[in-house]
């Protein structure tokens, strides 16, 4: 039962993942949330844009909590942090229809509307991986960027082919590459 704004976010996220921002009609949103139009606008007076911002904020908070913070834990060896990050990311996207909302919004007409949030999400993810990798910062950033780009491409391909193992095998290969470079922790 949905009793507040936060309760509506999972249904909103599903509507945006399955239909995209532009395709998430009010009918699709009400179907996925179980809320009527009046309740939706009571919780989100700014309409669909406010709904999308709430979902993006929730996704960003999940990544901050489960991905970025674990990558920053200096008490854990870099290879373990990277492995934990890859597992969390794979599990997250596998359980959410193989769609990255930030990536999806970056590709659609809504890109300009959410440009700041999109850039912030990808920048934070790359920075967190960069800081977890030993070695020169410029090289670490290039490797982090490659990892994020590879995951995003794997999501598109896995969804296009309706073949979730594509995500798993791609993340596993990319992780092996990152952890082989992480080796024993060294100060940067």
Residues across the chain: 188
Tens of pLDDT, residue by residue over 111-135, are: 999 999 999 999 999 999 999 998 8
**pLDDT (average), residues 11-22:** 96
What mean pLDDT do residues 10-34 have? 95
What the block records as the tokens of 156 is 């598109």
pLDDT of 62 above 60 = yes
Dist CA 63 CA 59 (whole Å): 6
Q: How does DSSP assign 15-77, residue by residue?
A: HHHHHHHHH--HHHHHHHH---HHHHHHH-TTHHHHHHHHHHHHHHHHHIIIIIHHHH-TTS-
Give Dmax (Cα) for the chain.
57
**Rg (the chain; Cα; Å):** 18
Domain ranges, ordered by start, for the chain: 52-182
Token duo for residue 29: 């949103």
> What does pLDDT average to over the chain?
93
> What pLDDT band is residue 180 in, cutting at 50, 70 and 90?
confident
Q: Residues 33-37: what's their mean pLDDT?
A: 93
Residue 183, pLDDT score: 63
pLDDT single digits (tens) 87-98: 999 999 999 999
pLDDT at 186 over 60: no
What is the secondary structure of 139-168 as a DSSP string?
HHHHHHHHHHHHHHHHHHHHHHHT-THHHH
Task: State residue 3's pLDDT score.
Answer: 79
In this structure, the number of other CB atoms found within 10 A of the CB of residue 177 comes to 14
CATH architecture of 52-182: Orthogonal Bundle (1.10)
Going by C-alpha positions, the residue among 31, 42, 54, 50 that lies closest to residue 3 is 42
Tokens representing 123?
Answer: 């920048």
For 123, the 3-state DSSP assignment is helix
């Amino acid at each position: 039962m949905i009793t507040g704004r936060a309760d509506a976010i999972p249904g909103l996220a599903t509507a945006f993942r399955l239909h995209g921002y532009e395709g998430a009609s009010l009918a699709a949103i009400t179907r996925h949330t179980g809320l009527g139009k009046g309740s939706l606008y009571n919780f989100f007076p700014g309409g669909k844009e406010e709904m999308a911002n709430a979902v993006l904020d929730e996704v960003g908070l999940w990544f901050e909590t489960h991905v970025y913070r674990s990558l920053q834990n200096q008490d854990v060896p870099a290879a373990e942090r990277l492995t934990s990050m890859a597992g969390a990311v794979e599990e997250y996207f596998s359980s959410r229809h193989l769609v990255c909302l930030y990536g999806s919004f970056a590709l659609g007409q809504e890109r300009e509307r959410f440009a700041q949030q999109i850039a912030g999400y990808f920048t934070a993810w790359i920075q967190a991986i960069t800081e977890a990798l030993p070695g020169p910062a410029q090289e670490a950033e290039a490797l982090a960027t490659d990892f994020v780009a590879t995951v995003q491409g794997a999501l598109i391909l896995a969804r296009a082919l309706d073949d979730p193992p594509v995500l798993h095998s791609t993340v596993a290969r990319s992780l092996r590459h990152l952890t082989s470079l992480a080796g024993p922790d060294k100060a940067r």
